[in-house]
Amino acid sequence: MARFIFITGGVVSSLGKGLMAASLGALLQARGYRVRIRKFDPYLNVDPGTMSPYQHGEVYVTDDGAETDLDLGHYERFTGVPSRQTDNVTSGRIYQQIITRERRGDYLGATVQVIPHVTDAIKAFALADTDDLDFVLCEIGGTVGDIESLPFIEAIRQLKNELGRGNSISIHVTLVPFIAAAGELKTKPTQHSVRELASLGVQPDVLVCRCERPLPASERAKIALFCNVPTEAVIPALDAKSIYAVPLQYHAEGLDESVLKAFGLEPGEAPDLSRWEDIVDRLVNPEGEVTIGVVGKYVGLPDAYKSLNEALVHGGIANRVKVNIQWIDAELFEAADSDIAARLEPLHAILVPGAFGERGAEGKIASIRFAREHRVPYFGICFGMQMACVEAARNLAGISHASSTEFGPTDEPVVGMITEWMSSEGLQQRAEGGDLGGTMRLGAYEAKLAGNSHVAAIYGEISISERHRHRYEVNTGYRDRLESCGLVFTGMSPDGRLPEIVERPDHPWFVGVQFHPELKSKPFAPHPLFASFIAAALKQSRLV
Ligand code: GLN
């Protein structure tokens, strides 16, 4: 039977609970255990798919087509275990399920209540499909004390009891702030947070204390005393120089050992962490650097492009170079007096990422034109591929009104709405005016690559599977005209109907993909497109 690790956060949000869960997962894996990490989000959206990236950061998409919390991206990047629909659940989804059942009459006249109906549903999500695992890590979003998270904490309390001693533990992540005026780290917020959690019936077994300065032994002992945990189970967690150094740092502070001891397991031999040591060595001792311009829309909040940011870093790891990312607001290039050349010339490569809506599209098209004309490596992802097609149509094929139907009715729909496509579950159909939630081509789809293409050489194979999240597609009705001006369709869906990749054979590196390769990149297995893109940027850096 799987053992369960429940992870809560206290004092403030943004303590890096997700990274902690991901790192602990990686450490347990390095010790030979099979792990899966799940996230419970207390908000009422059914999934984060309809939330603005400004509110919630990136929407992470799984192979099985779920739109999930960005923490699932950390889990996958650190453990390599592909996340699934069943690894992220929100209060909204749970209530939706319960209310649907109630309307069907499934509760046979019973009063439907938070306890037991909501808590039972939460427990069922935690327990589902865990037979082949050694450890299931369940992270609870939000902060202890929030009204929304109460049913989740109550479900943990019940589960701990039902699973029996030795089969579950709880980890609480807190903050130990440094008060400059007193020159001291303060443990009181941690004490209060643990007391709050204990008052809900959950006594933590391990405390992870985020702090800006080293936690003195005396303070560690004080936290242990007041919070009822062994001193070695108070784990100091200082900021790391890279997120990929976090597993090493937690191991050095004894996190994995404390967790195993809390389960009554013998820690045994030290885990092999050479994979993480190599990654950190490449990050800390680079042999060069490149600067990539990401021309996008949500540039004010880097979390909106979390996986993209990481995949670029992974491309740097593959080439042993430091990757500097300049986040550029596409709208800057829409002003009449904007000097696009001055802004883009110093860059070694340009990337236009995924996006929704028309805002900034003209600035992106102008950037793509610059990259094409100046032979600067260009990588277009999803919207960035669609706009590369619009750019070529307008500026090379003479289709001056080329546009996307996403921006409104157009006579030249180079990019258009798809209402029908094949998935592994058969024909999928959508109405043009349907709901916004969950109406996209989502999740992993296969693509076939042209054997003699640049992308086939990059992947080293001609059959690939990548994750999608979009409503619109490049219209194959324009394929001949685009290809005759050098933009070649080198990746298509297996039925040949949907363009997946376009590239320019006459350019040093110009690739547009309809999918999101960044979602599958890992520090120990950088995605081939990102590794190749950064290599091209490195070449470019030697020219400028
Ligand atoms: N807005 C575009 C579409 O829906 C692109 C989406 C994306 O870049 N993820 O097709």
Answer whether residue 453 is part of any domain. Answer: no
In this structure, the residue with its CA closest to atom 9 of ligand 1 is 354
Question: What's the pLDDT score for residue 55?
Answer: 76
Instruction: Establish if 197 belongs to a structural domain.
Output: yes
* 137 lies in the same domain as 215: yes
The pLDDT, as a whole number, for residue 420 is 57
Lining residues, ligand 1, CB within 6 Å = 354-356, 382-383, 406, 469-472
- Summarised one tens digit per residue, pLDDT across range 291-342 is 999 999 888 887 889 999 999 999 999 999 999 999 999 998 988 888 899 9
Looking at the fold, whether 179 and 240 belong to one and the same domain comes out as: yes
Residues 240, 294, single domain; the answer is: no
Q: Are 183 and 242 in a shared domain?
A: yes
What is the Cα–Cα distance from 373 to 358, expressed in whole angstroms? 24
Say what the pLDDT of residue 432 is. 56
- Is the pLDDT at 345 greater than 70? The verdict is yes
Q: Pocket of ligand 1, candidates 298, 359, 470, 500: which has the most ligand atoms within 8 Å of its Cβ, to mutate?
A: 470
Q: Give the residue with greater pLDDT, 52 vs 92.
A: 92
- Same domain for 329 and 197: no
8 CA to middle of ligand 1, Å?
A: 34
- Closest ligand 1 atom to residue 356 Cα is 1
Give domain status of residue 243, yes or no.
yes
Q: How far is the CA of 342 from the centre of ligand 1 (A)?
A: 29
Q: Is the pLDDT of residue 438 over 50?
A: no
Nearest CA to ligand 1 atom 8: 354
On whether both 410 and 310 belong to a single domain, the answer is: yes
* Cα distance between residue 261 and residue 263, in whole Å: 5
pLDDT at 56: 79
Whether 282 and 320 have beta carbons less than 8 Å apart is answered as: yes
Out of 8-17, 219-228, 271-280, 517-526, pick the least confident.
8-17
pLDDT band at 431; cut points 50, 70, 90 = low
- Domain end, chosen from 248, 279, 310, is at 279
- Higher pLDDT: 54 or 461? It is 461
Is 485 marked active-site?
no
| 363-371 average pLDDT score | 96
In whole angstroms, give the CA distance from residue 467 to residue 465. Answer: 7
Structure tokens that stand for 197 in this block = 């959690």
Tell how strand 60-61 and strand 67-68 pair up: antiparallel
Residue owning the nearest CA to atom 6 of ligand 1: 470
Q: How many residues does the chain have?
A: 544
Instruction: Concatenate the DSSP letters of all residues of 203-268 into one string.
Output: --SEEEEEESS---HHHHHHHHHHHTS-GGGEEEEEPPSSGGGHHHHHHHTTHHHHHHHHTT----
Predicted local confidence at residue 407, as pLDDT: 93
Residue 380: strand pairing partners: 352, 512
Domain termination residue (choose one: 250, 279, 308): 279
- Kindly state whether residues 365 and 231 are assigned to the same domain: no
Assess contact for 355 and 329: CB atoms under 8 A. Answer: no
If you average pLDDT over every residue of the chain, what do you get? 93
Which range has highest mean pLDDT (240-244, 384-388, 437-441)?
384-388
Q: How far does the centroid of ligand 1 lie from the alpha carbon of residue 49, in Å?
A: 13
Instruction: Tell me what pLDDT residue 248 has.
Output: 97
Q: Which of 60, 351, 386, 498 to mutate to test the pocket of ligand 1 (most atoms within 8 A of CB)?
A: 386
Considering only CA atoms, which residue is closest to atom 3 of ligand 1? 470
The verdict on residue 39 lying in a domain is yes
Range of the domain at 105: 3-51+86-279
Same domain? 210 vs 332: no
Would you state the pLDDT for residue 437?
A: 46
CA distance linking residue 48 with residue 60, whole number of Å: 9
Domain CATH code at residue 331: 3.40.50.880
Residue 350 lies in a domain: yes
Best residue among 356, 364, 368, 405 to mutate for probing ligand 1's pocket (most ligand atoms within 8 Å of CB) is: 356
CATH number at residue 23: 3.40.50.300
* Structure confidence at residue 283 (pLDDT): 96
- Among 77-86, 361-370, 428-437, name the one with the lowest average pLDDT: 428-437
219/302 same-domain check: no
Q: Both 271 and 328 in a single domain? A: no
DSSP assignment, residue 335?
A: S
DSSP, res 520: G
Please report the pLDDT score of residue 165 as a whole number.
Answer: 85
Per-residue model confidence (pLDDT) at position 50: 80
pLDDT at residue 520 in the model: 97
Among 67, 227, 518, 527, the one annotated catalytic: 518
Task: Tell me how far the alpha carbon of residue 198 lies from the centroid of ligand 1, in angstroms.
Answer: 45
518 flagged as catalytic: yes
Q: Which of 247-251, 284-288, 335-339 has the lowest mean pLDDT?
A: 335-339
How confident is the model over 21-78, as pLDDT tens digits?
A: 999 999 999 999 999 999 999 999 888 888 877 777 899 999 999 999 899 999 999 9
CA of 87 to the centre of ligand 1 (A): 24
Structurally, the chain folds into a number of domains equal to 2
The model's pTM: 0.92
Q: Pick the atom of ligand 1 nearest to 355's CA.
A: 8
- Is residue 59 in a domain? no
CA distance 129 to 138: 14
Q: Are residues 374 and 273 in the same domain?
A: no
Q: What does the block give as tokens for 511? A: 């690739």
Q: Cis bond leading into 204, ω under 30°?
A: no
In a domain, 76, yes or no: no
Task: Examine residue 454 and state whether it is found in any structural domain, yes or no.
Answer: no
Ligand 1 centre to CA of 471 (Å) is: 6
> Do 336 and 401 sit in the same domain of this protein?
yes
The catalytic position among 209, 382, 389, 527 is 382
Asked which of 223, 253, 279 is the last residue of a domain, the reply is: 279
% pLDDT > 90, the chain: 84
14-23, 213-222, 414-423, 462-471: the lowest-pLDDT one: 414-423
Nearest residue (CA) to ligand 1, atom 1: 356
Torsion of CA 92, 97, 100, 103, to 10 degrees: -100
102-137 pLDDT, tens digit each:
999 999 989 999 999 999 999 999 999 999 999 999
User: pLDDT tens digits, residue range 221-231?
Assistant: 999 999 999 99
Q: Kind of pairing, strands 488-492 and 499-503?
A: antiparallel
